[in-house]
Structure 1
């Protein structure tokens, strides 16, 4: 897996770490069940602190993109490739709604009205 951070990106480093891993999954560089390199190796490859990498990995775990298993390391969760795409679309929707003056709660109410 070839990962590289964008030095011009103004987002916090842990978000960038999560983003490059999310992108690698979306582009098929790693798929469900694949094991990620250890956090220490990722931190060296990305030239960031290991705690920054761990924070990014935990965020992806909380999103359901990664699974942490004792003795097996960090693996890509089943359906993570699809979930990653969906989360990206949701973030775009929230951004677009904010530009139009709608809050996240407004979006939730709109979604509830659809079903």
Structure 2
């Protein structure tokens, strides 16, 4: 799997790294049980601080996309990680679009609630 970051981007490096993993899962390049590179190894190859990679991995864990185990590394998890990854990316895009349109959180949630009705 190829990781790329753009230090000149306004998107935080940890978000860029997490996005690479999400896209890898969504595109089928990564599937349940696949291991991600060790934090130190990935940080070295990208030229970023190890804590930046660990922050990305923690975000992915919080989203339910990976499992972190001390000494065993990061592993893709979930019943259907590709669907979960696509959903997370779609929600991020939705929130960004809402912000650009001046739509607040409460208004956005009302719109989402209507779609579930």
Normalised to the residue count of structure 1, the TM-score between the two structures is 0.86
- Name the counterpart of 2:15: 15
Q: Which runs of 5+ in 2 are unaligned?
A: none
Q: Give, in angstroms, the shift of residue 71 of structure 1.
A: 4.5
Q: CA RMSD in A?
A: 1.7
| Further displaced range: 54-63 or 98-107 | 98-107
CA distance in structure 1 between the aligned counterparts of 2:44 and 2:29, rounded to whole angstroms: 19
Runs of 4 or more, structure 1, over 4 Å off, are none
Contact 2:67 2:76 in 1 (8 A): yes
Query: Secondary structure of 1:67's match?
Result: strand
Q: Which runs of 5+ in 1 are unaligned?
A: none
Aligned length: 115
Structure 2 matches for 1:41-80, cutoff 5 A?
41-78=41-78, 79-80=80-81
CA distance in structure 2 between the aligned counterparts of 1:104 and 1:56, rounded to whole angstroms: 24
